Amino acid sequence: MKKIILSTIAVIVMTACGGSAGSSTDTTPTLATPQATTVAETLALGRPVIMAHASGEKLRPHSSPYGYAEAVKDGVDILDLDVQLTKDGVLVVQHDLDVDATTDGSGNVIDMTYDQILALDNAYWFTKICTCKDKPETDYIFRGARTGKVAPPSGYAPEDFIIPKFIDIATKYPKYMLNIEVKDVFPAAVPAAKELARILDEIGANDRAVVTSFDDKVIDEFRKFAPTVELSPGRANLVAWFVNKVPIPYGMRILQIPTAEPAVKFELNAEFVGFTQILVYVGAVSILIVFAILLTRSTEPKDEPTTVTPWIGIAVAVGAFLTMAAAVLASPVGKRAAAPMGEVSVRNLGQKLMTDYVLPLEVMALLLTAAMLGAVIIAMKDKEGSR
């Protein structure tokens, strides 16, 4: 049976690396040991597990040592980390490919050295309600904690508001399972995947990590570097399993379901599902409007009662549907197999609807036409009685 991990909360605090400027102090209070450490132990808990996306980005600065430490206090089961490489090959915990959204700097992580990354204030744009850039200066409650301009919260130091190294986070909490996403896509993300595999093996964390990426090619490459580490499918494999019942590769047991994305319905031969959903939504709304108009009766008194025969409408609708369905299925169009969608564009959608996908289009048109005919006849007044 497939197990599903639901993302909710996660954590981090930097280890002391010989007192280097890039490491947080050991001022964090002693924390309780989690109920499970390895992936196997976590799956055996028999209950929903808890982690915070990027250390709980709505509650504390994004992917910061302070944020992870606070999430651990909240009682998370798993640490959630996004990783990528700096220009000089250091694997850091950072969600976006650039640093613009959360720090006082600008630029892509891959174009910056770790020393440049380390100098940034990772809480610069954080407020109590969002990480955003359109609030009054006083709303940025941790701005300056990294540089010492303002005092950090009790128990924390300026180094708790940096973009941290992955190895520091992973070794600071050796008893916590790690949920790790390799950022970027193939082939750009392959060096980061290789470095992640090396670090996990070096610190003995292979059995407490699950690794994923939006790009399944990145996951395939990571598996070559670390064949024993638990994997979670990317977008393509997840959609293939959900829509087309394609088996998930490598015996993956942990599925991380993304938020709804309509475009994903056109992946992996799921085009029919996408087209049908569009047609049903548009047609259903149209039919509801027609029904509302046709079935709305006048409240004025009438000299003679109207006579309406619902069964006539039903019979006409069914007859019309069967006649048109037989005509469509008997035509060459009815025998045509659907072809792969190809590039999703307005031009391509129009061409496919009129060629390869004309059959589902006609079927939906038949259903809607039959429904409208039935509605008209059912709602029609007896003309003689109304004269």
Please say if the pLDDT value at position 203 is more than 70. yes
219-245 pLDDT, tens per residue?
A: 999 999 999 999 999 988 988 888 788
- Determine the average pLDDT of the residues in 152-176: 97
* The predicted structure's pLDDT at residue 120: 98
pLDDT in tens, 296-335: 655 555 555 555 556 766 676 677 667 766 765 665 544 5
Residue 70: pLDDT band (50, 70, 90) is very high
pLDDT grade, residue 78 (50/70/90)?
very high
Q: Is the pLDDT of residue 27 over 90?
A: no
Query: Residue 312's CB: how many other CB atoms inside 10 A?
Result: 13
User: Percent of the chain at pLDDT above 70?
Assistant: 66
Instruction: Enter the tokens of residue 109.
Output: 């992580």
Residues in the chain: 387
- Range list of H helices, 245-345: 271-294, 310-330
- What lies within 8 Å, CB to CB, of 312 at 6+ separation is 377
DSSP 161: G
Query: Which residues touch 280 (CB under 8 Å, ≥6 apart)?
Result: 364
Residue 54 in this model has a pLDDT that exceeds 50: yes
| Mean pLDDT value across residues 138-157 | 96
Phi, psi of 52 (to 5 degrees): -110, 130
Using pLDDT thresholds of 50, 70 and 90, give the confidence band for residue 140. very high
Distances (CA, A) of 199 to 17, 71, 236, 354, 375: 16, 23, 27, 53, 67
Would you state the pLDDT for residue 93?
Answer: 98
CA-closest candidate to residue 121, choices 61, 166, 161: 161
Q: What is the pLDDT of residue 355?
A: 74
Q: Which two tokens stand for residue 183?
A: 């950022």
Most confident of 34-48, 247-261, 326-340: 34-48
| End-to-end alpha carbon distance in the chain | 68
Global pTM? 0.65
What's residue 291's pLDDT? 66
Above pLDDT 90, what percent of the chain? 53
What's the average model confidence in pLDDT over 124-144?
A: 95
pLDDT at 367 over 50: yes
Average pLDDT, the chain: 79
